Amino acid sequence: MKQIVVHYGELSTKGRNRKMFQAALAQQIRAKASPLDVSLKVSPQHDFMYVRFEQASYEEMIEILKDVPGIARFAPSYEVDKDLEAIKAKALELFADIHIEAGDSFKVVAKRSDKNFPYETYDIQREVGSVIGYAYPEMTVEMKRPTHKLTVSIHQKDKAYLSLSSYTGMQGLPYGSSGRGLLMLSGGFDSPIAGYLMMKRGMELEAVHFSSPPYTSPQALEKAKKLTARLSHYGLAMQFINVPFAKIQEEIKANIPDNESMTVMRRMMLRIMDQLLSERKAQAIVNGESLGQVASQTLTSMRVINDVTSSPVLRPLIATDKNEIIELAEEIGTYDISNEPYEDCCTVFAPTSPHTKPKLQQIEAMEAKLDIEQLVQEALAGITLETIDESYLRKDQARFESLL
């Protein structure tokens, strides 16, 4: 049976709640690996967990584990017979698979929980180190900071395990261990990154998209669904909630001065989000606002917009700039989708000269012209729900290829 040792990182600092975090991490690993291997076993230990599997390859499991929140690092661990010659042979095989450069160094660390094994810890290190040094004379032995570190574990059962390569994980906390939030997801670059960062902190998300057909196109809606699918790669399947918003925007256009329309539109969105929060039993609203990026994201505007809700509004991008957001979008695979040229409801109805310092009393006086409660309830009555996971992107690609 193949084995990978998963190290928790931040999760290790948790006290009495550690088992809850471990269970959330194990659940996600099992869910992500289920298409590959039905015999996968996850065994949590104090500071790490074993992931054991059969049918899947190491490469397939590495691809899965590198994008699971809550994993600091992980190392494939190769099983061999508990025999010193077999251990030496496997050690040479592992070194043959890596790229060694002039000046590289190595170290062998042995861990012997089976005290009946006929070789002491130091003997194992010396014997295995000798064959490696003979095979690769260009490498030196370095005890403090070696380029390559081989770990040999002699278990109490009938097998030994060797690890050479270690991989960095996504860090953060296990998905679903930090409560549930609703992400305001447009088709732009910012909101998917906000969602990704909160997922990395362990928050389970549902995506809420405001669409305004016929002013926004079916392609714009599809773009938001594809972003949801990409985000689900870092968690589990997500609920995609589509809120019809055209009538509200028409009413705003007809009754509110153009330069205040963005403020009123955002306040209407938050009113809807507030009620969705209660209906979906979520605990926080997440959006992609970045301080000063656009007119509605000045401190004055945000205070006026926030006035309609007492719910927590989390803004993980608040101190980032656009370049940082774009870099992260490229890294996590949302850039190409966000870059598709389909406008969302915010850009279609964007005012030509938005007010950056709206006054609350004036905004409230303008909103008196709207039947706010009726508009909110009509929007809520028209929402549609769809469960989306990362397979949605593969189906979308298949649909596209069938048209060629």
Residues annotated within a binding site for ATP: 184-185, 209-210, 266, 288, 297
Helix (H, G, I), strand (E, B) or coil at 14: coil
190 in Cβ contact with 86 (< 8 Å)? no
385 in Cβ contact with 241 (< 8 Å)? yes
Say how far apart CA 191 and CA 392 lie, in whole Å. 19
51 in Cβ contact with 64 (< 8 Å)? no
List b or e across 153-176, with b for residues whose CB sees 16 or more CB atoms inside 10 angstroms: bbeeeebbbbbbeeeebbebbbbb
Going by their DSSP bridges, the two strands 148-154 and 159-163 should be labelled as antiparallel
Residues belonging to the binding site are 184-185, 209-210, 266, 288, 297
Q: What letter does residue 201 receive in the DSSP assignment?
A: T
Say how far apart CA 370 and CA 271 lie, in whole Å. 13
CB atoms within 10 A of CB 219: 12
Tokens of 18: 């550690």
- Which residue carries 């005890």 as its tokens? 143
* Helix 372-381 / helix 246-255 crossing angle, nearest 10 deg: 160
Q: What letter does residue 316 receive in the DSSP assignment?
A: T
Helix (H, G, I), strand (E, B) or coil at 205: strand
Length of the chain: 404
Is the peptide bond prior to 69 cis by the omega test (within 30 degrees of 0)? no
| 215 alpha carbon, distance to own chain's centre | 32
If you write DSSP's letter for every residue of 123-179 in order, what string do you get? HHHHHHHHHHHHH-TT-EE-SSS-SEEEEEEE-SSSEEEEE---EEEEES--TTTT-
Say how far apart CA 396 and CA 404 lie, in whole Å. 13
